[in-house]
Amino acid sequence: MVLNVMSMEVTIDRRKGGPVRPVRAVSLAVQAGRTLALVGESGCGKSMSCLAIAGLLPRRAGISAGKVDFEGQDLAALPAKEAQLIRRRHIASVFQDATGGLNPVRSIGWQVAESLRLRVGATRAEADREAVRLLGRVGLPDPERRAREYPHQFSGGMNQRAMIALAVAGNPRLLIADEATTALDVTLQAHIIDLISDLRDSLGMAVLFVTHDLGLVAQSAEHVAVMYAGRVVETAPVERLFADPRHPYT
């Protein structure tokens, strides 16, 4: 098991009114080479759970209970610097707004290469070569030229492919795709889903795919966790969930 989250709780310490818990008792698990879809309405805690797993919570928020077991190590219990090193090397994220996630004043190739240098300690020349290869791997035409271009020169779908290349640089063990296809049209959504599935199979990654589109769930995942009001209320294989949902919200 790559990721096994057990009874995780996230607390936000507000200046006034006391703490709030937007995520309560969340449990989910993802295996290598498999995809778990985390589904639910806007505001139910999906993205907050992903930010907690990736160590990207806002300053006044934190994991207040439970475990985030990543390949046998509890990231919630480790010292902050040690947990950060594990996350940097082995956990990657792709977010909904690809353009907002890319640096507008750095070339696409530079940003992918930087990810390689930080994750695996590649030299600049090695990272530049691998960045071009990855941009071609995610389906960008003429990757050598594209590596020299900037986010404003890319379409939305191309920026999303560039973000995926940046995320998978260095072969992370877990990819968190948080609404990674929501801003794209239906055709591009299908291409991105196929791309993530292909990379998952070839790299042996575990994928946590966050969405509220059940059509994408049927196309991309093996298991589903349904989230409602900060809790996971149902977990099941895709086929069983569609054929025999157990929870009223599902």
More confidently predicted of 68 and 189:
68
**DSSP tally for the chain: helices H, then strands E:** 10, 10
- The closest alpha carbon to 105, from 153, 151, 162, 140, belongs to 151
- Per the DSSP assignment, residues forming a β-bridge with 178 are 210
**Residue 224 near residue 233 (C-beta atoms within 8 A):** no
Structure-block tokens of residue 241: 């969930």
pTM (predicted TM-score): 0.92
Residue-wise pLDDT for 206-240, tens only, equals 999 998 888 889 888 999 999 999 999 999 999 99
Task: Kindly state the average pLDDT of the residues 74-89.
Answer: 94
What's the chain's average pLDDT?
92
Task: Kindly state the average pLDDT of the residues 78-107.
Answer: 90
DSSP 89-102: HHEEEE-S-HHHHS
Residue-wise pLDDT for 134-159, tens only, equals 999 999 999 999 999 999 999 888 99
- Per the DSSP assignment, residues forming a β-bridge with 70 are 3, 73
- Per the DSSP assignment, residues forming a β-bridge with 209 are 37, 177
Is the dihedral angle over the CA atoms 129, 133, 136, 138 positive or is it negative?
A: negative
Task: Please report the pLDDT score of residue 85 as a whole number.
Answer: 93
Alpha-carbon distance values, 194 to 59, 120, 161, 188, 197 (Å):
35, 26, 12, 10, 5
Task: Please report the pLDDT score of residue 172 as a whole number.
Answer: 93
Structure-block tokens of residue 64: 């207040």
106-111 contacts, C-beta under 8 A, 24 or more apart: 106/150, 107/147, 107/148, 107/149, 107/150, 108/135, 108/146, 108/147, 108/148, 108/149, 108/150, 108/151, 108/154, 108/162, 109/135, 109/146, 109/147, 109/148, 111/162, 111/166
Q: How far apart are CA 173 and CA 178, in angstroms?
A: 16
Residue-wise pLDDT for 23-73, tens only, equals 998 999 999 999 999 999 999 999 999 999 999 998 899 999 999 999 999
If residue 210 lies in a helix (H) or strand (E), which one and from where to where? strand 206-211
Structure-block tokens of residue 242: 């569609």
Task: Kindly state the average pLDDT of the residues 104-132.
Answer: 93
Residues whose CB is less than 8 angstroms from the CB of residue 8 and which lie 6 or more positions away in sequence, other chains included: 23, 25, 26, 27, 49, 52, 63, 65, 66, 67, 68, 76
Is the pLDDT score of 183 beyond 70?
Answer: no
237 half-sphere exposure, CB direction, 13 A CA radius: 3
